[in-house]
Amino acid sequence: MPELPEVEVVRRGLAQHVVGRTITTARLTGVRVARRHDAGPDDLSARLEGSVVEAADRRGKYLWLAVRRPGADAHALVVHLGMSGQLLVQEPAAPREKHLHATFEFADAGPQLRFVDQRTFGGVYLAALVPDPYAAGTGASEHPHGVPESVRHIAPDPLEAAYDLGAVSRRMRARQSAVKRAMLDQALVSGIGNIYADEALWRAGVHPERLCAALTKPTLGRVLHHAADVMREALDRGGTSFDALYVDVNGASGYFARSLDTYGQTGRPCGRCGTPIRRAAFMNRSSHFCPRCQPRPRIRRA
């Protein structure tokens, strides 16, 4: 479940069903699912055995479990869901999903944690925890265990206290690139993907290919404000599910798909002006927008 609301739904499921339990066995199928774990799948399995899950944390689309073996430092079991990854909490006797890549068993012999991913763009790996480079410095951090070293380059997402909308819009304005490209840059602001970028731009009435530098600061602020807003609304409805690929840890779908105004609405009337929503290729993927509410940039880029 790729974007922030969907990943947060999964994180909450992990907090409820996995935190506090002790991992006895981690079974990885093949090498691909653990390809980002440099020492290989066997090392990952071995290092997880006997670990207690202390927390389920997230930044943007990156999810991790803080795990600790008795007497050792905490580490992060990082999970990225990619395009089609799922984390499911299932009884040991439950049938194996077709694209099951990892199974985590617990000392209580209760439900297992399973990683299922049709396309295997996602994966799991173990990483050291380092101090959050974006921590505000004052008071308690939202990430008391820190962040995985591999997540250091990921900027705070709009639902974090460390998120600074003013700073992001300032950095954005300095860019000579399309506004949608900047919104999808996880090192600038994290958690936004193709769906919520299109939705936020529709709400703000900004064409995805407008140059950041050509937009006013208030306009950029509005775009970012809408991005946070639409993701909060989606989270309230359990995320966006188009099919069975995007479900929570119990296999349940979210209900935000019916609330989408542009994404996947090609040809349907714009909710504001009735003009048919258009789809255009952009960054090797698709943008959806209203050609009337979101006029094209006047100057075409070379």
What is the DSSP track for 241-264?
Answer: -SSTTSB-TTSPBPSGGGG-SSTT
138 binds DNA (CB under 7 A): no
95 binds DNA (CB under 7 A): no
Q: From CA 266, how far away is CA 257, in angstroms rounded?
A: 14
121 binds DNA (CB under 7 A): yes
Q: How far is CA 42 from CA 46, 149, 185, in A?
A: 6, 21, 33
Of 91 and 300, the one with the shorter C-beta distance to DNA is 300
Q: From CA 75, how far away is CA 116, in angstroms rounded?
A: 22
Of 22 and 29, the one with the shorter C-beta distance to DNA is 29
Q: From CA 61, how far away is CA 71, in angstroms rounded?
A: 30
What is the DSSP track for 232-243?
Answer: HHHHHTT---SS
Whether 61 is catalytic? yes
Query: Which position among 3, 6, 8, 199 bears the catalytic label?
Result: 3
201 binds DNA (CB under 7 A): no
27 binds DNA (CB under 7 A): no
83 binds DNA (CB under 7 A): yes
On whether the CB atoms of residues 11 and 17 are closer than 8 A, the answer is: no
Query: Which position among 21, 47, 59, 61 bears the catalytic label?
Result: 61
101 binds DNA (CB under 7 A): no
Of 240 and 294, the one with the shorter C-beta distance to DNA is 240
For the chain, the farthest-separated pair of C-alpha atoms sits apart, in whole angstroms, at 63
Q: Supply the residues annotated as catalytic.
A: 2-3, 61, 285
Binding site for DNA (CB under 7 A): 1-3, 6, 32, 60-62, 80, 82-83, 98-99, 118-121, 174-178, 181, 184, 186, 193-195, 240-243, 245-246, 279, 281, 283-286
